[in-house]
Amino acid sequence: MPNYFSSDFKLGILGGGQLGKMLLYETRKFDIQTKVLDPNPEAPCKIACNEFVRGDLMNYDTVINFAEDVDVLTIEIENVNVDALETLENLGKKVFPSAKTLKRIRDKGIQKQFYKDSGIPTSPFKLYDNKSELLKDFTQGEIQLPIVWKSRTGGYDGRGVSILKTEADIDSLPDTPCLLEQKINFKNELAVIVARSVSGETKTYPVVEMEFHPTANQVEYVICPARIDDHVSKQAQEVARKVSNAFEQVGLLAVELFQTQDDEILVNEVAPRPHNSGHYSIEGAFTNQFEQHLRAVLDLPLGSTESKVGAVMVNLVGDENHEGNVYYENIEKILELKGVIPHIYGKAQTRPFRKMGHVTIVDKNLNTARQTAEEVKGLIKVISK
Amino acid sequence: MPNYFSSDFKLGILGGGQLGKMLLYETRKFDIQTKVLDPNPEAPCKIACNEFVRGDLMNYDTVINFAEDVDVLTIEIENVNVDALETLENLGKKVFPSAKTLKRIRDKGIQKQFYKDSGIPTSPFKLYDNKSELLKDFTQGEIQLPIVWKSRTGGYDGRGVSILKTEADIDSLPDTPCLLEQKINFKNELAVIVARSVSGETKTYPVVEMEFHPTANQVEYVICPARIDDHVSKQAQEVARKVSNAFEQVGLLAVELFQTQDDEILVNEVAPRPHNSGHYSIEGAFTNQFEQHLRAVLDLPLGSTESKVGAVMVNLVGDENHEGNVYYENIEKILELKGVIPHIYGKAQTRPFRKMGHVTIVDKNLNTARQTAEEVKGLIKVISK
């Protein structure tokens, strides 16, 4: 095994956002040297990495030059120049996740087709090269509304996705390669993070549950473990592991799943990196997802994915009516509550719905954690003043 | 409450070693700006703080100038210029722990006398201004060997302390202000960390136990919770809280205690900061000691001190036969064991017995954690090659 600890070994990270910032807690803990690339001079990773390079993640030459002196290259965001990663792999550089995986994921059409070809359960879909093809199908009555429309590329955090309910919704679509996907009337939205190391050791985290707001169609709480039947959990973990193996993923793979009304598990989409649905693990799991990602891409033994305690995660997003210098109203009040740990990503400016941080609530009793999470949600506001 | 989070607020930290490094995980988590002073240009805190100043912690002017633009000043090591802290307090600067507390602690004679005057149980002792006074007592037969000798100042990590068994031991003592203290034949060596905030909120961590090597007289494992009777735990926590209140301490106070053969609790010594005996809390407690110290000195509500799981901590010290570039032999083997988390402080050079890191072992069953800790201890070696 190479000597990673307090050595000359250097890990390169593409992207310097909050996921990178949390990954850096672990590289610091292991004293592993890091080099981070991000276009934002005030990126959350700016401090705590050994070397920060400002540059465009989508620029071929920038990525190639950045990677020259790193021993292993990983990502904290998928929107990077994948051709550069491919070149680097051909030059013998270790790149995790692989360019192949990123290519399969960044185009949602290819991703869906890959699931179909790999025998992985996913919702029925149809691909379209452009809008007119889609309109043709519609006029021929081959499209039943409501239906889910997704742009094949460029979608992120809900962008590039919409639910078509009326003909007007279809008319207003952009002309871009896209896919239509059956709208799943799901019982639960679940997620499973699978860790897979260079040598193929695989460990699966417990299933987490996304609890939605009763009226607003928005995830409010990520709950670990999910409050579902054991056989459904096992099934979800099996499907997730199958996806990780199909991609031959190295590192973490976060698999978002639907539990249908009749307890079928369908893959929605994946992220080949640490993921929002795994933030609870910093406080809740024996091995947090960031340390696990590090272990996986460095081919170290994977750690236990068991939970120490029940955990609920609440995202801190910018209040819709505020823009400007951020202020976390009532943060001192939530700190009074047992097992409440805020994580502030370090973005100076808030914007409506911008991800500014998250709060983890842990308790030996999951229901207590869930109740505390509701108090937290009711108290804290991300505003500007 | 001042706005600490993603604001202009700046926390100053005197000392840039491993305790500061671990404190910086928490300032990063809360996005609180930090400025660190340390003489070592390669101090573990060098990265991850917002501003690093190289300078002498014992130099009056250096400390005064460093503190000028910080809002709150804290320490991660006691050996700092306390007169400078006193001046800063008189200028209205918030300094936690206070100069008064540091003065009481740095002179072990004053510290012992303070316990006596405050009605805090501690072992019988006598102060000496110099060696000849001590020799006079000895020749008059007033000193029963074996007895513990401590230099009143300058002692750290066992230095400045020795057990006098023979007249030769006495002859070889340096001529310095010192104290003699009755050697306690203790049943257990215990420690309790007490957190006390600016406004006086106090929380006490569970009692931890230092398990000694059966033959070598050296702490091998720090175990939380201590395997002692509840009434002894309660007593130890009460004594520790009394000590924290007597010092009017702000921040953490680690109180090292002896449990005598007849279950009396005696205070040995204290540290007014995060402490080795609290490292387990990073993985084991609802609120780790570094976040707790931050909450206390910023007058935020204190977090729960309860344990999530059982925890055992093993120090990683340099092998006695090795000096040079550090190599952590078998670290990949200990990573295979459940609940094992290594912390590498980031010192490039190892020396015999130098503190290079620590390993936390957590498990829902404390005995299992203790057994795993023994495996860890048997496997990992801090060497040079």
- CATH number of the structural domain spanning residue A340: 3.30.470.20
Whether A29 sits inside 8 A of B347 (CB atoms) is no
Whether residue A323 is annotated as binding a ligand: the answer is no
CA B223-B209-B123 angle, to 5 degrees, is: 165
Chain A residues in contact with B49 (beta carbon < 8 A) = 47
In a domain, B162, yes or no: yes
Domain count, chain B: 3
From CA A41, how far away is CA A33, in angstroms rounded? 20
Q: Are residues A248 and A302 in the same domain?
A: yes
**Whole-number percent of chain A with pLDDT over 90:** 95
What integer pLDDT is reported at residue B381 of this predicted model?
Answer: 97
In a domain, A86, yes or no: yes
Q: Are residues A276 and A227 in the same domain?
A: yes
User: pTM above 0.90?
Assistant: yes
The residues with which B349 forms a beta bridge, in sequence order, are: B325
B215 has a pLDDT exceeding 90 = no
Q: Does B311 touch chain A (CB under 8 A)?
A: no
* Count, residues in chain B: 385
Domain boundary among A95, A114, A143: A95
Q: Are residues A201 and A346 in the same domain?
A: yes
First-residue to last-residue Cα distance in chain B: 52
Assign B155 a pLDDT band (cuts: 50, 70, 90). Answer: low
Domain boundary among B95, B114, B141: B95
Q: Are residues B168 and B207 in the same domain?
A: no
Assign B325 a pLDDT band (cuts: 50, 70, 90). Answer: very high
Residue A282 sits at φ, ψ, to 5 deg, of -60, -45
In a domain, B320, yes or no: yes
Q: Are residues B294 and B375 in the same domain?
A: yes
Residue A247 DSSP code = T
Assign A213 a pLDDT band (cuts: 50, 70, 90). Answer: confident
From CA B337, how far away is CA B357, in angstroms rounded? 18
A228 has a pLDDT exceeding 60 = yes
Mean pLDDT score, B309-332: 97
**Whole-number percent of chain B with pLDDT over 90:** 95
Whether B336 sits inside 8 A of A291 (CB atoms) is no
Q: What is the pLDDT of chain B when averaged over all its residues?
A: 96
Q: Are strands B208-212 and B219-224 parallel, antiparallel or unpaired?
A: antiparallel
Q: Are residues A157 and A128 in the same domain?
A: yes
Q: Which of A30, A301, A345 sits opposite B336 (nearest CB)?
A: A301
In a domain, A251, yes or no: yes
The residues, ordered by sequence, that sit 6+ positions from B305 with a Cβ below 8 Å of its Cβ are B193, B195, B203, B204, B205, B206, B285, B286, B287, B292
Q: Does B5 touch chain A (CB under 8 A)?
A: yes
B373 has a pLDDT exceeding 60 = yes
Q: Which of B47, B286, B326 sits opposite A47 (nearest CB)?
A: B47
Q: Are residues A87 and A236 in the same domain?
A: no
In a domain, B234, yes or no: yes
Tokens for B239, please give them. Answer: 């004594």
Q: A189-199 pLDDT, tens per residue?
A: 999 999 999 99
Cα B98 to Cα A111, B81, B147, B247, B332: the distances in Å are 60, 12, 32, 9, 43
B156 has a pLDDT exceeding 60 = no
Q: Are strands A51-54 and A33-38 parallel, antiparallel or unpaired?
A: parallel
What integer pLDDT is reported at residue A155 of this predicted model?
Answer: 62
In a domain, A105, yes or no: no
Assign A1 a pLDDT band (cuts: 50, 70, 90). Answer: confident
From CA A117, how far away is CA A10, in angstroms rounded? 37
Treating both helix axes as pointing N-terminal to C-terminal, what angle do B82-90 and B60-67 enclose, rounded to 10 degrees?
40
Containing A371, the helix (H) or strand (E) segment is helix A366-379
Tokens for B149, please give them. Answer: 């000798």
CA distance A253 to chain B (A): 21
Residue A127 sits at φ, ψ, to 5 deg, of -90, 145
Q: Are residues B316 and B191 in the same domain?
A: yes
CA distance A30 to chain B (A): 5
A325 has a pLDDT exceeding 90 = yes
Q: Which of A3, A304, A339 sits opposite B338 (nearest CB)?
A: A304
Domain boundary among A75, A95, A115: A95
Query: What is the sign, positive or negative, of the torsion defined by CA atoms of A105, A107, A111, A117?
Result: negative
Whether A308 sits inside 8 A of B304 (CB atoms) is no
The residues, ordered by sequence, that sit 6+ positions from A360 with a Cβ below 8 Å of its Cβ are A279, A280, A282, A283, A284, A311, A312, A313, A340, A341, A343
The residues, ordered by sequence, that sit 6+ positions from A364 with a Cβ below 8 Å of its Cβ are A309, A310, B308
- CATH number of the structural domain spanning residue B128: 3.30.1490.20
Q: Which of A28, A29, A344 sits opposite B29 (nearest CB)?
A: A344
Report the half-sphere exposure of B156 (CA within 13 A, side-chain side): 7
Whether A286 sits inside 8 A of B331 (CB atoms) is no
A271 has a pLDDT exceeding 60 = yes
In a domain, A109, yes or no: no
Q: Does A342 touch chain B (CB under 8 A)?
A: yes
Whether B343 sits inside 8 A of A301 (CB atoms) is no
Task: Give the three-class secondary structure for A27.
Answer: helix
Q: Are residues A84 and A224 in the same domain?
A: no
Tokens for A44, please give them. Answer: 């959350």
Residues annotated within the binding site of B are: 108, 150, 181-184, 189, 268-269
Treating both helix axes as pointing N-terminal to C-terminal, what angle do A82-90 and A60-67 enclose, rounded to 10 degrees?
40
* Residue B281 near residue B205, CB atoms below 8 Å: yes
B-facing residues of A in 13-32 (CB < 8 A) are 21, 24-25, 28-31
If you measure CA to CA, which chain A residue comes closest to B356?
A6
Q: Are residues B273 and B220 in the same domain?
A: yes
Q: A158-200 pLDDT, tens per residue?
A: 568 999 999 999 999 999 999 999 999 999 999 999 999 999 9
Tokens for B37, please give them. Answer: 């002073």
The residues with which B245 forms a beta bridge, in sequence order, are: none
Whether residue A320 is annotated as binding a ligand: the answer is no
What integer pLDDT is reported at residue A160 of this predicted model?
Answer: 86
Q: Which of A30, A50, A291 sits opposite B47 (nearest CB)?
A: A50
The residues with which A195 forms a beta bridge, in sequence order, are: A203, A252
Q: Does B35 touch chain A (CB under 8 A)?
A: no
Q: Which of A30, A339, A345 sits opposite B286 (nearest CB)?
A: A339
- CATH number of the structural domain spanning residue A41: 3.40.50.20
If you measure CA to CA, which chain A residue comes closest to B29?
A343
Q: Are residues A168 and A229 in the same domain?
A: no
Report the half-sphere exposure of B76 (CA within 13 A, side-chain side): 25
Q: Is-cis flag, bond preceding B146, omega within 30?
A: yes
From CA B342, how far away is CA B339, in angstroms rounded? 10
Containing A72, the helix (H) or strand (E) segment is strand A72-75
From CA B203, how far away is CA B206, in angstroms rounded? 10
Q: Which domain holds residue A27?
A: 10-95
From CA B168, how far away is CA B183, in angstroms rounded? 18
Q: Are residues A171 and A196 in the same domain?
A: no
Residue B114 sits at φ, ψ, to 5 deg, of -60, -45
Interface test with B, best of A7, A50, A344 (most B CBs within 10 A): A344
From CA B355, how far away is CA A153, in angstroms rounded? 51
Whether B21 sits inside 8 A of A28 (CB atoms) is yes
In a domain, A101, yes or no: no
Q: B333-356 pLDDT, tens per residue?
A: 999 999 999 999 999 999 999 999
